[in-house]
């Protein structure tokens, strides 16, 4: 993971808690699965052992990725935001100029993104397109579904 990773304090705490679980409980479960598979005999033809070792590799990769995310995390406080322009943690009310439908998004880090909660990543096409724009601006964003024309109606916390 390159660059800084802007998150809220709550997200950073959640990431640290997940990392702790992965390092303790997760590693212990995988070690137990490897030991059980090892007891079943010849390791050359033991599919359970191979699967457990593969799971261990994925688990360690997940730990490494999360450690990198925590190490590059920078906490943003909502009270420090400049609401004259769209930035991370802002809630943006927009009007889809094509369908004339209002939408609202919160711009968040990749770890916090959840479309069901209308939280979009700062690195997504819409997130990138809205960043730095002000109230009243009309933005044309290239998305996988085509060009999206949005008018920024409001920026809040």
Structural domains of the chain sorted by starting position, each given as residue range(s) with its CATH number in brackets: 5-75 (1.10.287.180), 78-156 (3.10.50.30)
Is the CB of residue 155 less than 8 Å from the CB of residue 83? yes
Q: How many angstroms from the chain centroid is the CA of residue 21?
A: 18
> Taking the CB of residue 79, how many other CB atoms lie within 10 A of it?
6
Q: What is the rounded CA–CA span in Å between residue 135 and residue 94?
A: 9
The pTM of the full predicted model, rounded to 2 decimals, is 0.68
* Residue-by-residue pLDDT tens, the chain, 157 positions: 456 777 888 888 999 999 999 999 999 999 998 888 888 877 677 788 888 889 999 999 999 999 998 998 888 877 777 888 998 889 999 999 999 999 999 998 887 889 899 999 988 999 999 999 999 999 999 988 889 999 999 999 8
Residue 123's SS3 state is coil
Answer for the pair 113, 119: CB distance below 8 angstroms, yes or no. yes
Contact 116, 127 (CB under 8 A): no
Task: Please give the pLDDT value at position 1.
Answer: 40
Please state the length of the chain.
Answer: 157
Residue listed under structure tokens 């679980």: 21
C-alpha–C-alpha distance, residues 32 and 30, integer Å: 5
């Amino acid at each position: 993971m390159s660059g800084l990773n802007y998150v809220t304090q709550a997200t950073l705490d959640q990431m640290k808690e997940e990392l702790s679980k992965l390092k303790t409980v997760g590693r212990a479960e995988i070690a137990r699965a490897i030991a059980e598979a090892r007891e079943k005999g010849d390791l050359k033809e033991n599919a359970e052992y191979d699967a457990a070792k593969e799971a261990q590799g994925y688990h360690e990769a997940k730990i490494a990725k999360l450690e990198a995310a925590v190490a590059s995390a920078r906490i943003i406080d909502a009270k420090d935001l400049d609401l004259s322009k769209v930035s991370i943690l802002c809630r943006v009310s927009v009007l889809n100029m094509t369908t004339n439908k209002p939408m609202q998004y919160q711009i968040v880090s990749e770890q916090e993104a959840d479309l069901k909660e209308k939280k979009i990543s700062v690195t997504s096409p819409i997130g990138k397109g809205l960043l730095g724009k002000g109230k009243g601006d009309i933005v044309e964003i290239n998305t996988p579904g085509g060009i999206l024309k949005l008018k920024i109606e409001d920026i809040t916390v």
